[in-house]
Amino acid sequence: MKRLVSLVCALAGAAACGDNLTPGGGDDEDAVQPDAPNPDAMPPTDAATATHAGTISVFDVRLRNQGGAGVDGHGIQVGISFVDLATAQQPIMEESPGNPTDGCKLWEYTPAQLVASFGSDQGPVQVCGDGPGAQFTCAQAGNAFPPCVFMAGVGYICPDAASSGSAMGATFASPATSLTAMTTTTVNKFNALDVGRYIRFSGTGNAILDNAGPLPIVDVPTAGMGAVVVFAGVEVTAAPTTGTYTVLAGVGPIPGAPATGFLADNEMIKFEKAASANFEAFPANVGFTGAGGIGDAFTLGTMNGKVTPTSIPTDGSAFTVGCDDAAACGTALGSILNIITTDATLGPSPFSFPPPDEKRVQIRCIEVGATTITVPAAYSARLTQAMSGGTRIQATFIRSNQAGATNMSGPPNTVLIAGGHAEVGFTNIPQPSN
């Protein structure tokens, strides 16, 4: 099972939107590129202009059942990206040129351009929550959610050092269910918060483990005294004799996780970051600290011809995704629809979404105050097999609130922060017959 790919971008759109690691594999961190500055709208040359922009996002993501697979899921996905505006990829199509918060935009990326879109290292980012969700706590003794750090070639990830360790001495049992139970002798132990996170192996010499990418942790049995973890997506029977494993938080949905999700509508989430090369330190309480918290959970509808994230048209026709009425969408600043393609060979999982071999098409549509998003036919045509060469589409509908911080001196670089709920699904692109 390969991973889901990124979900987010901030509603104000002038910053990058980091795609995070998700169900089960691959290290392609796709980023929604920031919009390049509009020359006609730039201030006079003697005024300070932004040189870099950032996006930080936290979403409770529902993994939507695809093709009768009988699998739903939930998970927290954190996306972080800081980019140089001078080299940011520009869209090749725009409904509202120069306006980052209105209409649809379309990009095409080569694999090298995707890697470049991961941005740069601007220091660790700490996520901390005061709301009712269990995944984030602001305890004085430490945070339940680990700091997120930059990894070259991958982008920002959130490794949990307390649960990571050596893979040596581990034993595996695989009951032919695409689940693997691991018992490790490392001094680092697993705990209940690791359920809903991912585990990634490196240097074990076991090709299945080393090449699988992040795998979703579905259980930490209490009988294992913290030494046992169960993860999905592969079946491994041979115990590695070397290598390490890393537990990653904020990767994305866990197949089979409860439908109730991980974050409440009134979740209050704050972000901390020290000063770095291009951004000042965050002031206190940056994030969602008011009574409203993040964007609400929602229910997508199919009235009046609307489609779901698992049924995106592949014939180039226009389509709409969204809620049937305002009550079904709850409260949020606006809606985002983020669509990406892969042209790689798919794995057996209905959620397989490997990095592109040659090209990725991305459509990002933003509507402030709206509960539906409509993708015009000219944009939808780029998703067809003839135009994209694609094998699968990943579509994510997002309801988000927004916060942010701007440098008070020097270049007015801005970090935009998005928080809310999202729903992701997949559509297979019909392939030409031989």
Identify the top-confidence range among 131-135, 162-166, 332-336: 332-336
Residue 41, pLDDT > 70, answer no
DSSP class of residue 55?
Answer: E
Q: How many CA atoms lie within 13 A of 291 on its CB side?
A: 0
Residue % of the chain over a pLDDT of 70? 81
- Integer Cα distance of 430 and 392 in angstroms: 9
* pLDDT on residue 242: 85
Q: Is the pLDDT of residue 87 over 80?
A: yes
State the pLDDT at residue 39.
Answer: 34
pLDDT band at 196 (very low <50, low <70, confident <90, very high): confident
Report the Cα–Cα distance between both ends of the chain, in Å, rounded.
Answer: 26
Q: How far apart are CA 119 and CA 157, in angstroms?
A: 13
Q: What is the DSSP letter of 43?
A: P
pLDDT of residue 89: 87
- List beta partners, residue 395: 339, 425
Helices and strands in the chain: count of H runs, count of E runs? 5, 24
CATH class of 160-248: mainly beta
**More confident call, 118 vs 23:** 118
Collapsed DSSP state (helix, strand, coil) of residue 41 = helix
Question: Across residues 394-408, what is the average pLDDT?
Answer: 93
- Whether the per-residue pLDDT at 361 is higher than 60: the answer is yes
The tokens 């701007």 sit on which residue? Answer: 406
- Alpha helices, DSSP H only, in 286-366? 326-329
Query: What's residue 102's pLDDT?
Result: 82
Instruction: Give me the mean pLDDT over the 63-86 stretch.
Output: 80
Largest CA distance in the chain: 68
Write the pLDDT tens digit of every residue in 52-64.
Answer: 999 999 999 998 7
* Better-scored residue on pLDDT, 422 or 183: 422
Distance CA 411, CA 258 (A): 44
pLDDT beyond 70 at 142: no
DSSP class of residue 76 equals: E
Confidence (pLDDT) at 134: 66
Q: Assess contact for 411 and 49: CB atoms under 8 A.
A: yes
What does the pLDDT read at residue 110?
Answer: 94
Domain boundaries in the chain? 17-145+255-428, 160-248
Measured from the Cβ of residue 79, the count of other Cβ atoms closer than 10 Å reads 30
Distance from chain centroid for Cα 140: 28
Are 424 and 64 a contacting pair, CB within 8 Å? yes
Give the Cβ contact number of residue 326 at 10 Å: 10
Which of these ranges, 19-28, 137-146, 262-271, has the smallest mean pLDDT? 19-28
219's enclosing H/E stretch is: strand 215-219
- pLDDT tier at 68 (50, 70, 90 boundaries)? low
Q: What is the pLDDT of residue 174?
A: 64
Residue 40 has pLDDT above 60, yes or no: no
Residue 32 has pLDDT above 70, yes or no: no
